[in-house]
Structure 1
Amino acid sequence: MNPTDLPPDVSSASERTSERAEISAEANRCVACGLCLPHCPTYRITLSEADSPRGRIALIGGVMGGRVPMNERFALHIDRCLTCRACEAACPNHVRFGQLIDDTRAAMDSERDLPQGDPAMRKAGLRGWIKREFIAKPGRLDALRPLLRFYQSSGLQKWNRKSGIFGGTALAVLEAQLPFIDIPAASSGVVDSRTWQPVYPAVGEPRGQVGLFLGCVARLTDATTLNAAILVLNRLGYTVHVPRAQTCCGALHQHSGDRTTAKQLELQNIAAFNELNLDAILSTASGCGVQLREYGLSSFSQPSNLRSQVQDDAAQTGKFRRPAIKFSAKAVDIGAFLAAAEGWDEVKLAPLPHKIAVHEPCSLRNVLRGSAHAYALLARIPGALVIPLAGNDQCCGAAGTYFIDQPEMAAPLLHDKMTALKASGARYLATSNVGCAMHIGSALRQAGSEIEVVHPVTLISRQMGIQL
């Protein structure tokens, strides 16, 4: 089954009614205990029940049951959700809040009627074009690499940031988050690596075969981390495969309600990696890691153009679900893999006599439950003082494109992180998600701070003496 085999999404009224009923059934599992409230970032800011998980679930239940209109006021409270899933981790009844929000946004996308010329429609159209033409086709992001490297090396970036030519536009916000643009690591025998190599052979005793998931934005803005992951794995004895057919994980599309594109990207990644005999499929961005781990988990309302095919196929050959489950079972965050990897006895790490504050991304903490691995990994560095960043139970406000879509909510969340960092006295901030790293890193640069935001695996590679 190829992604292009999927039919167009044509939902009938009866199918929409069925989807609403399935979403409503999940919403009704909430017992309104309120244990989620103190864990919700937006509730702590607004103190509004409508901006709490319990309140959003009540609104969703009302809309799906026809008691509440699906209007812009409803959309405001749903769109304010960061999908950090802290509430899901705290829920005693295990309500699947992440899928509930994703399916509600999908319903909003297909049913909400915005007037022509509405700013929200124009904004959605532009974002949709970017997601469709760049995010869903990350090879085009690779093509931007030489242009951005010239932009940075020529002095244009420094001039632009000093002049403020972009003003207060979304483009200015995005440009401010742009870190140093690195190039893909070269494998042996490659002099000028302009693209990722399909295989990076192990050094020394071979211990396994792993795949590396590049992602979309990360392959452009976080190549340093991806390079570090490859070279550390090679040094420990693991051959790293980087299939060129891989694509975006689909998280941005799924969280914005575009389940069909998310499913197409899922199928493409499954096909790219499952054809290799791998021990694990590793991701350096925990946000992508969550999406990869949840491939094969059916939402309670499948896209109508997929539902009958998935059901028929599952009854016959399992062509959809079995490959997805096989893929998900091998998807592991790089920190978790390295924490349990072999070969460390043969590696010497140089001392680093500095304090390292660890930021725990929501996706890593609340869904993957893998925060401890970053601490275990960094503890291998002699002389380093590794501490948790205060307020790790709250989101930083990045959340995909949330910092652009909801700046008034993202700003106080970022401010809290900056306050905690200043009080920490740390020289480094280690975080395992590229979106969080770019968001916090941008604020630190603007504040003139010397704190460096870095992925744990990058610090490990430096102390191994690996030149990136």
Structure 2
Amino acid sequence: MKPTDLPSDFSLDSLIAEANRCVACGLCLPHCPTYRVTQSEADSPRGRIALMSGVAGGRIPMNERFALHIDRCLTCRACESVCPNHVRFGQLIDGTRAMMASPSKPLGGSTQTPKSWFRRWVEHEVIGKPTRIDMLRPLLRFYQRSGMQKLLRKSGLLGKTKLILLEAQLPRIDKPYSLPGGSNFSGSWQAVYPATGQPRGEVGLFLGCVARLTDIATLNATIVVLNRLGYTVHVPPAQTCCGALHQHSGDRQTAAQLAHRNISAFDGLNLEAIISTASGCGVQLAEYSILSPSPGSKESAAEWEAGNGCAGDMLPSKRFSAKVMDISAFLAIAEGWDGITLAPLAHKISVHEPCSLRNVLRGSASSYALLARIPGAQIAPLAGNDQCCGAAGTYFLDQPEVAKVLLHDKIAAVNASGARYLATSNVGCAMHVASALREAGSVIEVLHPVTLIARQMNVTSRI
């Protein structure tokens, strides 16, 4: 099954039909993180499917107890990767959450998890508005470099609020890459970074929302590595959040609106690929072709798909999704490596495989292939790669108890690995794991494979 195989609509009938494809064989149970933690059938994939089917069929109520088990799902989609009947669990869980969040509540009940006014404001007024995220960057840099961060952490003013969980994950905030000899007064990335040396093609870079603030090192490294290989990198300024956060919380309207904006931002560029450095974003981008038009918009489904109205042309959403590639996957097939020399690295690198990369994109092998280019490096998979780290977007905020258990197991595996570096391809996983390692005083560095490649190219001094 591929993301493009999924239907674009979702209704009670389609939910029931998809749920009925589950034969309750139980092969998914040992792969489900929440089932391993709670040992509750209701927190397993087949248990949740039974609950969804029961609610859709009117046999059980859509109440708070139902919502508890649905909300506990990490949407890691490990169950999809092992299901012999290819049940599309991602579609089921997202569609169910959309029903739970719907003001009309087609099945009745009060199940929407209340959010603070600050949380709602951030999701609607910051996450999907890149210019506002860019405005936060100098403020956070001042916060860290002025000593305010250390003072706040020592003061304990944040107490046990969710803000303390967010603040603890905050890495060092860097500046967007500026071309040598140039100045970037906009506070964000430049629209185009020309290739150096022999031109080999043009690609687009997707920045995301959280990553453009907290994973700048990876985005900068991606640009310089691609440039060195001969690829011109386009960074459309109109791009925005991928919409995964909204999609997984049931806000399909906002997710579709963000998708439409990103498709439009990259439209018209002659690109070989649209590069994603965060596998969680990569999944969402790759599944744009299955999203419905924004429910609140005036456009019809036909208009959503027709886009530029070119008869016989590939649908814009499918054309966009077909070009989406994880940076490691692209670099694994990229040209230009013959002229590149990487410095040796006599250390062990453990590779963490994010759920989105492993279970949906099926691209974990590319990370190993990319890191294998580093002479002398000892590369090995992290034990327990088939289990989620507990970050899962905002899951660590919404379900801190389960997330803490999963993180504990992951940190134990990292400490037992004997590695100096932990390479991971998703910003959420990196921040989640790195914060726990920092708190424990560990010297193990968490970074993206492409960042390590840039270091061994000796190009990070330019960033």
TM over 0.5: yes
Name the SS of the counterpart of 2:275 in structure 1.
strand
Q: Tell me, yes or no, if structure 1 residue 92 matches structure 2 residue 80.
A: no
CA pair 151-55 structure 1, distance change in 2 beyond 3 A? same
Distance 1:303 1:61, change over 3 A: farther
Question: Which of 98, 101, 113 is residue 93 of structure 2 equivalent to?
Answer: 101
Tell me, which stretches of 5 or more residues in structure 2 are unaligned? 1-8
**Whole-angstrom CA distance in 1 between matches of 2:303 and 2:343:** 57
Task: Give the match for residue 283 of structure 1.
Answer: 276
Residue 25 (structure 2) aligned to one of 21, 27, 33: 33
- Aligned letter for 1:92? P
One-letter amino acid matched to 2:166: L
> What do residues 63-116 of structure 1 show as CA deviations (whole Å, max 9, x unaligned)?
01111100000000000000000001111111110011000000000116549x
Q: Which residue of 2 aligns with 1:331?
A: 324
Q: Residue 232 of structure 2: SS of its match in structure 1?
A: strand
Distance 1:430 1:162 in 2: 30
Q: Is the 8 A contact 1:82 1:399 kept in 2?
A: yes
**Equivalent position SS for 1:92:** coil
TM-score by length of 2: 0.92
Preserved CA contact (<8 Å) 1:30 1:95: yes
Answer yes or no: is the 8 Å Cα contact 2:176–2:216 preserved in 1. yes
Letter of the structure 2 residue corresponding to residue 443 of structure 1:
A
Partner residue in 2 for 1:389: 382
Structure 1 residue identity aligned to 2:95: D
User: What residue is the counterpart of 2:5 in the other structure?
Assistant: none
TM-score, normalised relative to structure 1: 0.91
Question: Tell me, which stretches of 5 or more residues in structure 1 are unaligned?
Answer: 1-15
1:365 is matched with: 358
Mapped pair 1:309 → 2:281:
no
The reply on whether 1:345 has 2:338 as its aligned counterpart is yes
Amino acid corresponding to residue 185 of structure 1 in structure 2? Y
Pairing 1:270–2:287 present = no
Supply the distance in 2 between the matched residues of 1:315 and 1:270 (Cα, whole angstroms). Answer: 12
Give 4+ residue runs of structure 1 displaced > 3 Å after superposition: 112-115, 302-308, 311-321
Q: 2:163 aligns with which of 155, 162, 171?
A: 171
Letter in 2 for 1:326: R
Q: Distance in 2 between matches of 1:335 and 1:52?
A: 32
Going from structure 1 to structure 2, the CA distance change for 1:318 and 1:104 (only over 3 Å counts) comes to farther
RMSD: 2.1
In 2: Cα distance, 1:398 partner to 1:138 partner: 23
Instruction: Decide which of 137, 157, 171 is 2:149's aligned counterpart.
Output: 157
Amino acid at match of 2:170: L
Output the amino acid matched with 2:208.
G
| Other structure's SS at 2:442 match | coil
Aligned to 1:242: 235
The letter for the 1-side match of 2:35 is Y
Alignment coverage as a number of residue pairs: 446
Shift in Å, 1:24: 1.4
Deviation at 1:321, TM superposition (A): 7.7
Say whether the 8 Å CA contact 2:256–2:294 is kept in structure 1. no
Provide the residue aligned with 2:4 in structure 1.
none
Bigger Cα displacement from structure 2, 103-112 vs 69-78: 103-112
What secondary structure sits across from 1:240 in the alignment?
strand
SS of alignment partner, residue 219 of structure 1: helix
State the partner residue of 1:144. 136
Change (3 A) 1:59 1:224: same
Q: Which residue of 2 aligns with 1:187?
A: 179
Percent sequence identity over aligned pairs: 69
